[in-house]
Structure 1
Amino acid sequence: MPVIVLEASDFTSPLFLVRTLEILSSCITFSLVASLEDSELNNNPSNLHFDTFRIFCMFTWCFFFTLSLLMHILSVIQFHSLIPISWKNLTMTVAVLGALMCCAASVLFPWLIMDKTVSPRPVVAAVASCLTFLAYASESFVLCTQTHEQRGYMGSMPGLLKMFQMSGGCQMIPLVVEVIRELPSGVYMWQMWVTSVSYSVCVLMSLVTLVVIICDFAGRCLLPFDRFLAGFSLMGVLLYMVATVICFTKILQLRELGQQISHESTGLVIMETVVASITLLAYTVDLAFSIKLLCDRGHA
């Protein structure tokens, strides 16, 4: 079978250019961060959460660099039609998730190096990370301007909300790890277990949903796919509601402890509360869309 590549005009298309920028900027970012040494960041033992968030940022940049590079190659040689997946849903998922996750990394990494760096390389890495976010956001915008048939289910509002839920759950992983590490041993452990299980179940549900949609397994589900999604949305609302209430409770309890708890612990719990609240809002809106869809089909 001969290899078919894009036409010359396709190499100057907005989609090709932004994907090339994604690959270049993410490669520059994780290469610079991987080459950093503790002396360049003026690292010290009080900055305990640096390693966890640095791993999260490195995973984000490397993961989406790998996905974007593979997709770019498949798109250029026109082999994507041979893969038994929904290409339009895959490209939209990678673009939007890449924008959301790189946005989180672009906020976390500058916060980590703020007032700690003695080298220009961390600053350049932070700027490159912001460029990576802008590139993924640009690709998301380009894909969203296409027709509904071209962008697939993941380009619709319910699909975008599901990717927002997925990114929120992924951001919870390093936050929960650091909250557990920062809090004194035995303090609020039952609350941490409840919230950790809630976040884990929601991430698993989001992952299953994305796999079903991207691999076109919707027709093979035992239940109708719209009811399947509505059930996941309802469970996500309930679990995040419990987690958000626990987060607000922890903030009040930390204020009562006062000097016994460090400012870092309070800041991490506040960050967890903000992310949980925003993700809960995404699940709530998604549930409203799912209920509306079920009602419309019931009247049809």
Structure 2
Amino acid sequence: MAVLVLEARDCTSPMFLVRMSALLCGCTTFSLAVSLEPEHLHDPQHGNTFWIACMFTWCFFFTLTLLIHILNVIQFHSLLPVSWKNLTVTVAALGALMTLSASVLFPWVVLSHWPVSPRPLAAAVASCLTVLAYCSEVWVIHGQNQDQRGYMASLPGFLKILQCWGGCQMIPLFMERMAATQAGELIAGEHNWQLWLSVGLYNVCLLMSLASIAVILCDCAGRFCPFPFDRLLAGFSLLGVVFYMVATVICVTNVQQHVNINRRSELLIMETVLVSITLLAYTVDFSFSIKQLCERGHG
């Protein structure tokens, strides 16, 4: 039976302090942002998707961090069927990346349409402080012993988190591009099949990344995986490299054909940057997987 044991030294530990900072900053961020009414945007048809994505990010990772913090305090996490050391660093690293995206999108969407006032500025600053808190938690976890960190705290694990982040960012971006298309903001030379092909590739890669992380967190690679898990990860990385190379070619081609500067071009440039970062993550991850397979083969 779990017993609440919280000593004074536990309240001053680096992990306790950084998680409390993430909770306080995250709560402050979405409390300030939720008081802003999205219908006051300059164009309600554009920007609401990103606003909802920012709110979801802040609330979702605040909830996850709160649950992790409570479970860690009452020492209940040992009864959960998950790898706790991998779960904590995954939530912290993914929370840092997702909150960083929200910190960039929120000023771009909200502050560009609303008159400058203290409330949205304070929300943007609090979101940046939340990013620093999550980064500090990752740094604290990375400073622990090798046995306490887990696979997700290593560079290959972080690359998988980065791949998952890139796929998640494509969801609101695709919805905004569809809204821009319906509004008549077309790009010369772009066809609908290119957009839907890119979306299909992003979704397949996102599902592969989520499946890989889920298997690692549940620590069930040897029980439910019919193939060697390291080779399966290498195959996923290879598919990710191929799929994102195709998506990169489509994005770069559309950027070169588009000359006018409007919201659609901004979304396309944003997509190109995200695709390039995610492609780099898959490429480096595939290199690590091949290196690991070769070392095991020679061993």
TM-score under structure 2 length normalisation? 0.94
1:295 paired to 2:299 = no
Say which SS state the counterpart of residue 265 (structure 1) adopts.
Answer: helix
Cα distance in structure 2, aligned partners of 1:200 and 1:185: 24
Per the TM alignment, residue 37 of structure 1 is displaced from its structure 2 partner at its CA by: 2.3
Pair 1:2–1:38, CA change in 2 (3 A): closer
* CA distance 1:219–1:287, change in 2 (3 Å): same
Indicate if the aligned counterparts of 2:42 and 2:114 stay in contact, CA closer than 8 A: no
User: Aligned residue for 2:262?
Assistant: 263
Given candidates 133, 143, 146, the residue that maps to 1:145 is: 143
Q: Deviations over 1:171-215 (max 9, x none)?
A: 111112112221338852100011000100111011101110000
| Separation in 2, partners of 1:64, 1:103 | 12
The yes-or-no answer on 1:210 pairing with 2:213 is yes
Distance of aligned partners of 1:295 and 1:2 in 2 relative to their CA distance in 1, 3 Å threshold:
closer
Which of 96, 102, 107 is the matching residue for 1:105?
A: 102
Question: Match of 1:124, SS?
Answer: helix
1:196 is aligned, of 181, 196, 199, to 199
Residue number in structure 1 paired with 2:131: 133
| 8 A Cα contact 1:6 1:78, kept in partner | no
1:227 aligns with 2:231: yes
| Correspondences of 1:1-300 after superposition (within 5 Å) | 1=1, 3-38=3-38, 43-45=41-43, 48-118=45-115, 119-183=117-181, 184=184, 187-220=190-223, 221-255=225-259, 258=260, 263-300=262-299
Which secondary structure state, in structure 2, belongs to the residue aligned with residue 222 of structure 1?
A: coil
Name the CA distance, whole Å, in 1 between partners of 2:257 and 2:193. Answer: 14
CA distance in 1 between partners of 2:239 and 2:216 (Å):
19
Counterpart-to-counterpart distance in 1, 2:185 and 2:46:
17
- Asked if the contact 1:93–1:163 (Cα under 8 Å) also holds between the matched residues in 2, the reply is yes
Structure 2 CA distance for aligned equivalents of residues 56 and 38 of structure 1: 12
For structure 1, which runs of at least 5 residues remain unmatched after alignment? none
Corresponding pairs, count: 292
Q: How much has 1:73 moved relative to structure 2?
A: 0.3
Q: CA deviation at 1:12?
A: 0.5
Q: Which TM-score applies when normalising by structure 1?
A: 0.93
Distance apart, 1:84 and its partner CA = 1.2
Superposition CA RMSD, Å: 1.6
Q: Is the alpha carbon distance of 1:114 and 1:36 closer, same or farther for their aligned partners in structure 2, counting shifts above 3 Å?
A: closer
- The one-letter amino acid paired with 2:221 is A
Superimposed CA distance per residue, residues 116-137 of structure 1 (whole angstroms, 9 cap, x where no aligned partner): 3333211111111111111001
Q: For 1:49 and 1:208, how far apart are their aligned partners in 2?
A: 32
Cα pair 1:18 1:139 within 8 Å, conserved: yes
How far, CA to CA, are the matches of 2:29 and 2:219 in structure 1?
34
Task: For 2:22 and 2:100, locate their aligned partners in 1 and report how far apart those are by CA, in whole Å.
Answer: 13
| Identity between Structure 1 and Structure 2 (%) | 60
| CA–CA distance in structure 1, aligned partners of residues 78 and 38 of structure 2 | 46
Distance in 2 separating the partners of 1:34 and 1:203: 29
Tell me how far apart the structure 2 counterparts of residues 214 and 49 of structure 1 sit (CA, whole Å).
37
Deviation at residue 142 of structure 1 after TM alignment: 0.6
CA distances 1:103-149 after superposition (whole Å, capped 9, x unpaired): 11011101123343333211111111111111001001111111221
Q: In 2 relative to 1, CA 2–50 (structure 1 residues): closer, same or farther, beyond 3 Å?
A: closer
* SS of 1:241 mapped into structure 2: helix
Gaps of 5+ in 2: none
Q: Structure 1, residues 216-243: CA drift from partner, whole Å, max 9, x if none?
A: 0111211111001001100111111111
